[in-house]
Chains A and B, each alone.
Chain A
């Protein structure tokens, strides 16, 4: 009897944990997108005000931030400074793919990030501003949608976690 009870508690607990994990993932994704947005504003300042080349802009922006996005920026800057002959587009793509293995961002977020790197560095400052602006708009949309959906989805994941655990317990018993 005690064993069954303990097993049930563990099943419900772990399923609830999985639900909470999803809730955290959702929250982390929003936070990361907000961090990237903040870093984009910084990068925009570096390019438009300080007229910094991409490598310097990315490195300095990376230093001011922390976590996944900061590491991505720093790695891209480092590779750009190594001057191996590849264009920024290729370097950015390589780094985003490398970092995509360990991120809370979705496939569409990563696609948007890759698209941003495709046009950065091309032509004049006006073009850089528009490229960053376009990506910022993408980010705003994604963040706005997440903010709208987050409370409902969080409740859903949490509820599904508990209910899924209870359902599994009933079946197992």
Chain B
């Protein structure tokens, strides 16, 4: 099945009809935003467009006379049911966090009326806003930086932390690093990688099966809290490299320390836009001071998502520019 068809199958028949008429390449679609009573917006190659009933993309502010396709309540309800294949109950835990991951690895952000139970959100009902973030696998995006991530003398991978603001490609980069570490590069033997994919973003597992290529020696613990997952993987799967996305909480950092003590190499990501940010984060700052991570990759959005700002060593000194 074509990538375009697979993506559009998430949507209700009505929306699917409009998207199929869209005069744009599906590979360039980054997000599709649905709000009741508002135009259907598509983020295409970094720019926002409204979509007309005939499938034409246009800039809403500049061409207000063009009739946009307006999202109805039924469109959102039906899209949600289609995306989860009529099994919303199976996504209850993800729903509490405000997103679900569907086949193909696409992530659907959800908003609406939160049904709260004290300080915790029990569910979101009714759902009135959807943001479909299209999963993009960029194989080879880590090629340029991989030579900086292993020690030429010992052949060992460095403990690596990727820093990036949201939507700058840290998950995509981590996925490609995991794939290459797992598969092996050139004559470099592949390693057993344990991947804790709490939000199903890296492997995009559906029913436990990764939808993205994450390498032939990668074991995934999908939908599992990071701190618990890291320890479970170390105990059960004996990984040589542990990969985890968006560490930050105290529990996550403790689990990273445990993994380090177990002799595993660590590949992790964290929100931040510079090394200065790291110095301000209480938990991770200690890692920098102790020289726990040997490589820091800083990403930005200067030339689009995935722009490398710099590579730093364990002491925070720049060893390569973007």
Contact = CB atoms under 8 A, between A and B. Distances in A.
Interface stretch (B9-17, B106-114, B301-309): B9-17
B224 to A, nearest CB: 13
Contacts of A120: 86
B88 A121 contact: yes
A55 interface: yes
Contact of B86 (A51, A52, A80, A127): A80
Contacts of B92: 124-125
B9 A88 contact: no
A79 B48 CA distance: 35
B207 A85 contact: no
A124 B89 contact: yes
Contacts, number: 55
A121 B92 CA distance: 12
A56 interface: yes
Given A85-B12, A124-B123, A51 B90 contact: yes
Interface string B5-38: 0000101110010000000000000000000000
Contacts of A125: 89, 92
Contacts of A123: 88-89
Interface in B55-111: 78, 81-82, 84-90, 92
Contacts of B207: 52-53, 56
Nearest to A92: B86
Interface residues of B, number: 18
A125 B93 CA distance: 11
B90 A52 contact: yes
A128 interface: yes
A59 to B, nearest CB: 10
Nearest to B17: A85
A83 B89 contact: no
A87 interface: yes
A136 interface: no
Nearest to B123: A124
A162 to B, nearest CB: 51
A43 to B, nearest CB: 12
A85 B74 CA distance: 13
A53 B87 contact: yes
Contacts of A28: none
A81 interface: yes
Contacts of B84: 53
A29 to B, nearest CB: 29
Interface string B160-177: 000000000000000000
Nearest to B207: A56
A75 to B, nearest CB: 15
A121 to B, nearest CB: 4
Interface in A121-138: 121-125, 127-128
B85 A87 contact: no
Nearest to A54: B87
A125 B122 CA distance: 13
Contact of B85 (A51, A81, A122, A124): A81
Which A-B residue pairs are the 8 nearest by beta carbons? Answer: A53-B87, A88-B86, A121-B86, A85-B13, A83-B9, A53-B90, A125-B89, A54-B87
Given A85-B82, A88-B86, A124-B92, 5 more contacts: A53-B87, A54-B87, A87-B81, A121-B86, A125-B92
12 contacts: A51-B89, A52-B90, A52-B207, A54-B87, A55-B85, A85-B78, A87-B81, A88-B85, A120-B86, A121-B81, A121-B88, A124-B89
